[in-house]
C-alpha cells in the first residue's frame, strides 16, 4: 500500500508565468495574498502587473529574509485573514513556498503555527488554494504537503504537514531561474539531488516514487553543471526546474540521514539547507550502501559508471557523486558555521528531538551515527 499526494495542475515552460491571472481567477473572487522573495524582482513585478490588468486585488508581502519563522507565519496569516484573502500566491524559493503553504493552512484552521508544529494540533480544515511559483531549482516545496519553519523559542527548524497543504497549482517557468547566482544554483541543485537519492533508497520507496527519483537524478546529472557554466541556459534551467519538481514528488517516500541532520542543524547553527545537504549527502550514502546495494548500483549508472550489480559498483556510485560535488565546488564541512560553544552531543539530542520520527533509512539512524557524522564534517 502507498498513499500519493500530488498537485492538481502543473504548468511548465518558458513564459508560463503569464498564465497566472487566469489560474487565480478560477481559484478565487477574493483578494490574493502574494508572498514573494522580493517586490523588485522582474518576475514578481510581472505577476503583480498581470493581476492588476485582470482586475484582481492582492496584498503583497516581500518581507521574508531567509527561512520563515513561526512569527513570520503568524504575521502573514493575520494579514491574509484581515484582507479576506481567498488564495495564496507564493513566488520564490523553498522558504517562500513553505511560508505560503503554512499561511494558507493557518487562515482556515486558526490558532498559531506553533500549535501545529510543536504540539501536534490536527489540521482539520482544507487550506486556502495555493499557487506555487518556484524561482530556484532544488527544494521541491512546490510538490510537497510539508512546510519547514524555524521556531525561535526553541531554535528548532521543524516541519509539519497535511494533504490539504499541497499547492493546487504549480507554475514551472525556467525563465524565472535564469541568472540565478552560482552558489544558490549549486546548493539548491544538490538539495534536489539529495531528495532524489534519499527517496530512492528509502524504506518507503514505491514504484511510483522510484520513477520520479531516477528521472530527477538523470536531469540533475545532465543539467546542473551546464547551469553553473552558463547561468542563462534556459534549456538547462528548465531541466533543473523539472528535476526539482520531480524530486519533490519523490518525497512521498520520505527522506533520510542527510536531511535528518540538515534540517535541525539549519536552525541550530544557521547553515543554509542546500549547503548542509551537500555536506551530509556522501555520509548518508556511505551509511546505507551496504543495505540497498542494488539501488546504489542504479545510482552509479545514472552517473555513468559501468559494471555488474555488486558492492564494487555501488561504492563507485558514491565516488561518482563525490566527484560530481567536487566539480561543483560544493562545501564539505560545517566548520565555518559552528559557534564557539558548539557541543556535538547536545546537537545530536536536538537532531533526534526534531527528526527522530524519520525512520526511512535501511540502516537505522542512531544517536551514535549522528554524532559520528557530525564529527566527520567538523
> How would residue 29 be classed by pLDDT, with cut points 50, 70 and 90?
confident
Is the per-residue pLDDT at 1 higher than 80? no
> How would residue 321 be classed by pLDDT, with cut points 50, 70 and 90?
very high
> How would residue 2 be classed by pLDDT, with cut points 50, 70 and 90?
confident
Cβ(280)–Cβ(347) under 8 Å? no
Mean pLDDT of 347-361: 90
Q: Which residues contact 65 (CB under 8 A, 6 or more apart)?
A: none
Please report the pLDDT score of residue 356 as a whole number. 81
Here the contacts of 295-299 (C-beta below 8 Å, separation 24 or greater) are 295/200, 295/201, 296/201, 298/200, 298/214, 299/197, 299/200, 299/217
Mean residue pLDDT across the chain:
95
In the chain the domains, ranked by start, together with CATH numbers, are 9-177 (3.40.50.1970), 182-377 (1.20.1090.10)
Please report the pLDDT score of residue 25 as a whole number. 87
Cβ(47)–Cβ(21) under 8 Å? no
Q: Considering only CA atoms, which of 149, 235, 161, 223 is closest in space to residue 190? A: 223
Mean pLDDT of 126-150: 96
Q: Considering only CA atoms, which of 110, 102, 41 is closest in space to residue 67? A: 102
Flag the least confident range among 152-161, 162-171, 249-258.
152-161
Please report the pLDDT score of residue 325 as a whole number. 97
Strands 85-92 and 31-36: parallel
Q: Say whether 122 sits in a helix, a strand or coil.
A: coil
Q: Is 24 left (phi over 0), alpha (psi -120 to 50) or beta?
A: alpha
Please report the pLDDT score of residue 53 as a whole number. 84
- The per-residue b/e assignment along 356-366, b for 16 or more CB within 10 angstroms, e otherwise, is eebebbbbebe
> How would residue 243 be classed by pLDDT, with cut points 50, 70 and 90?
very high
> How would residue 306 be classed by pLDDT, with cut points 50, 70 and 90?
very high
Residue for grid cell 553553473: 228
Strands 156-161 and 169-172: unpaired
Please report the pLDDT score of residue 259 as a whole number. 94
Please report the pLDDT score of residue 3 as a whole number. 86
Please give the Cα distance from 2 to 19 (Å, whole number).
Answer: 33
Residue for grid cell 541568472: 179
Amino acid at each position: 500500500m502507498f498513499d500519493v499526494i500530488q498537485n492538481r495542475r502543473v504548468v511548465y515552460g518558458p513564459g508560463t508565468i503569464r498564465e497566472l491571472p487566469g489560474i487565480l481567477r478560477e481559484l478565487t473572487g477574493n483578494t490574493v495574498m502574494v508572498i514573494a522573495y522580493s517586490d523588485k524582482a522582474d518576475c514578481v513585478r510581472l505577476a503583480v502587473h498581470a493581476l492588476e490588468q485582470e482586475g484582481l486585488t492582492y496584498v503583497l508581502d516581500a518581507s521574508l529574509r531567509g527561512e520563515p519563522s513561526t512569527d513570520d507565519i503568524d504575521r502573514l496569516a493575520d494579514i491574509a485573514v484581515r484582507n479576506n484573502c481567498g488564495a495564496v500566491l507564493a513566488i520564490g524559493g523553498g522558504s517562500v513556498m513553505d511560508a505560503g503553504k503554512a499561511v494558507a493552512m493557518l487562515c482556515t484552521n486558526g490558532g498559531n503555527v506553533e500549535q501545529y508544529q510543536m504540539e501536534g494540533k490536527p489540521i482539520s480544515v482544507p487550506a486556502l488554494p495555493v499557487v506555487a511559483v518556484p524561482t530556484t531549482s532544488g527544494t521541491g516545496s512546490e510538490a510537497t504537503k510539508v512546510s519547514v519553519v524555524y521556531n525561535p523559542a526553541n531554535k528548532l527548524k521543524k516541519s509539519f504537514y497535511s494533504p490539504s497543504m499541497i499547492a493546487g497549482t504549480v507554475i514551472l517557468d525556467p525563465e524565472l531561474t535564469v541568472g540565478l547566482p552560482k552558489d544558490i544554483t549549486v546548493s539548491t541543485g544538490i538539495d534536489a539531488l539529495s531528495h532524489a537519492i534519499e527517496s530512492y533508497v528509502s524504506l518507503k520507496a514505491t514504484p511510483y516514487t522510484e520513477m520520479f527519483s531516477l528521472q530527477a537524478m538523470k536531469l540533475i546529472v545532465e543539467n546542473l553543471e551546464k547551469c553553473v557554466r552558463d547561468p542563462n541556459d534556459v534549456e538547462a534551467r528548465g531541466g533543473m526546474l523539472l528535476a526539482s519538481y520531480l524530486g519533490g514528488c519523490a518525497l512521498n517516500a520520505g527522506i533520510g540521514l542527510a536531511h535528518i541532520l540538515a534540517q535541525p542543524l539549519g536552525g541550530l547553527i544557521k547553515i543554509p539547507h542546500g549547503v548542509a545537504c551537500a555536506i551530509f549527502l556522501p555520509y548518508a550514502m556511505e551509511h546505507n550502501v551496504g543495505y540497498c546495494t542494488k539501488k546504489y548500483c542504479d545510482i552509479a549508472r545514472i552517473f555513468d559508471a559501468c559494471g555488474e550489480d555488486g558492492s564494487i559498483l555501488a561504492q563507485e556510485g558514491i565516488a561518482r557523486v563525490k566527484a560530481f560535488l567536487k566539480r561543483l565546488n560544493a562545501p564539505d564541512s560545517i566548520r565555518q558555521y559552528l559557534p564557539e560553544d558548539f557541543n556535538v552531543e547536545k546537537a545530536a539530542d536536538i537532531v533526534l528531538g526534531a527528526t527522530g520520527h524519520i525512520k526511512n533509512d535501511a540502516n537505522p539512524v542512531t544517536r551514535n551515527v549522528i554524532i559520528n557524522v557530525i564529527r566527520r564534517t567538523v
